[in-house]
Amino acid sequence: MALVPSYTFQDTFFHRLDPRTKLVWLVAMLVLVFGSTSIAVPVGLTAVVLVSFWAARLDLRSLAPMAKLVGSLAIGIFLVQGLFHSGGDVLFQLGPLGLHTQGLRLAAQVVAQLFCMFLLCVQFLTWTHPTDLSLVLVKARVPYRYAMLVGLALRFLPVLEEELREILEAQQARGVDLRGSLRRGLAMVPIVVPFCLRTLRRSNEVALAMELRGYGFRPHRTFVRTIRYRPIDYAVSAGLVMCVVAFFVGRAFYPAIA
């Protein structure tokens, strides 16, 4: 299963929203996640994102690779924060090192924020077409030569991931042992070199194909896809901005709630 999911078309309310509205959703949710000092906020927002993920008919199984990645990071965060962040009761003492409750609470909050952030990024990629992101940049007066790079990068991420998987399988078939962190690190040289060569070759092929088709010949270009802000987009964007403002106003008067 791909670590970086690609766009999945579904005829849902969320998919029909303007990409700028989806970008407002992403930014607003991230501001709420990292603007809070309570673990309850990122946990609650994670539940909201999962419900919207389900409502958009997206495959929840695509979150499994991301969950494994966050789980690996969580182990290190809990160890570092729990052992080196003093405060609260000591749950376990081993020489000069102690496992503190305050450090574990801080680690839990950081892990919850990271999980929600990764979840939001995955959601944004799965319900936003890569071309729509390029159109957003074009609407923002970014030259289309540079705006198209965003769409191309998102399109080729799954392709590059598949090529990396093929290289890993080929090296394992040749007897390269990837079990264990040390062996995996030593085996990265015969993996990284062919992967970089393949990436450069594919980039050269794409650049040559675009040049042969006259890409960049005219200063302006038209697009088959168009984006247009509708009344529902204005309503959703305004609602998200109001939620962010209400959150910070409420936190200013009642710091304990966030």
Same domain, 30 and 56: yes
Q: What is the pLDDT of residues 198-235, one digit of tens each?
A: 888 888 888 888 777 777 667 677 677 778 889 999 99
Same domain, 24 and 96: yes
Q: Strand pairing partners for 240?
A: none
pLDDT higher than 80, residue 58: yes
Same domain, 112 and 136: no
DSSP classification of residue 94: E
Same domain, 198 and 233: no
Same domain, 139 and 188: yes
Task: Please name the residue ranges forming H helices in 85-188.
Answer: 101-127, 130-139, 144-173, 181-186
Q: What is the pLDDT of residues 72-87, one digit of tens each?
A: 888 888 888 777 777 7
Cα separation, 200 vs 69, in Å, equals 27
Q: What is the pLDDT of residues 160-186, one digit of tens each?
A: 888 888 887 887 777 766 665 555 666
Same domain, 160 and 210: yes
3-class DSSP state for residue 126?
A: helix
Same domain, 152 and 95: no
Same domain, 136 and 152: yes
Range of the domain at 188: 130-224
Same domain, 155 and 36: no
Quick one: pLDDT band at residue 243, thresholds 50, 70, 90? very high
pLDDT of residue 173: 79
Same domain, 100 and 17: yes
Total domains, the chain: 2
DSSP classification of residue 255: G
Cα separation, 154 vs 125, in Å, equals 8
Q: What is the pLDDT of residues 124-167, one digit of tens each?
A: 988 888 888 888 888 888 887 788 888 788 878 778 888 888 88
Whole-structure pTM value: 0.79
Same domain, 175 and 111: no
Same domain, 29 and 51: yes
